[in-house]
Amino acid sequence: MAALTTGTKAPEFELKTLDGKRFTLRDELAGRAVVLAFFKVSCPTCQYTFPFLERIHKAYGDKNVKLLGVSQNDAKETAAFARQFGVTFPILLDETEKYPVSNAYGLTNVPTIFWIAQNGEIELSSVGWMKKDFEAIAGKMAEAEKIAPVLMFKPGEDIRDFRAG
């Protein structure tokens, strides 16, 4: 099964955050859109992508859109990943053997990113690293936060257009 596509209703779920708090999608969507970025700590494309997601988080905050990582690893490995790649946005743990949330969202590869509107509908679905999808997420974040878009890539940075997950 392929990852859920645009226009699909996002499956409801409950997971714990890296710091042990309870998170439910329904509760979060009551106040804002949600971006879920699924990953595995050993995935080279995830390691490439997450510092750029951190740039989005730092540039736009989380007043009207909540950016969350969803790890397929245990808390210890996930915390080490967050430290190594400078991730400060919240991370959820989908660490059981069967990965119930990852499977509900139809993941075949990581990273996989979903933009979920407040009505629970998936507005963007992206697998692997796609520069155009990253730029679309950054643009939607700026629009949602009602601020001017921020330059996400530094002058002279060699940014790939695509990298498979």
In angstroms, rounded to a whole number, what is the distance separating the alpha carbons of residues 54 and 91? 12
Q: 94-98, 146-150, 154-158 — which is least confidently predicted?
A: 94-98
Whether this prediction's pTM lies above 0.75 is answered by: yes
In angstroms, rounded to a whole number, what is the distance separating the alpha carbons of residues 55 and 59? 6
pLDDT for position 2: 66
SS3 144: helix
- Which among 75, 78, 96, 74 has a CA at the least distance from the CA of 87? 78
- pLDDT 10s digits, 89-140: 999 999 877 899 999 999 999 999 999 999 999 999 999 999 999 999 999 9
pLDDT band at 1 (very low <50, low <70, confident <90, very high): very low
pLDDT for position 67: 97
Q: Are the beta carbons of 131 and 162 closer than 8 angstroms?
A: yes
- Please name each of the domains of the chain with its CATH number: 16-145 (3.40.30.10)
- pLDDT 10s digits, 21-60: 999 999 999 989 999 999 999 999 999 999 999 999 999 9
Residue 85's identity, in one-letter code, is: F
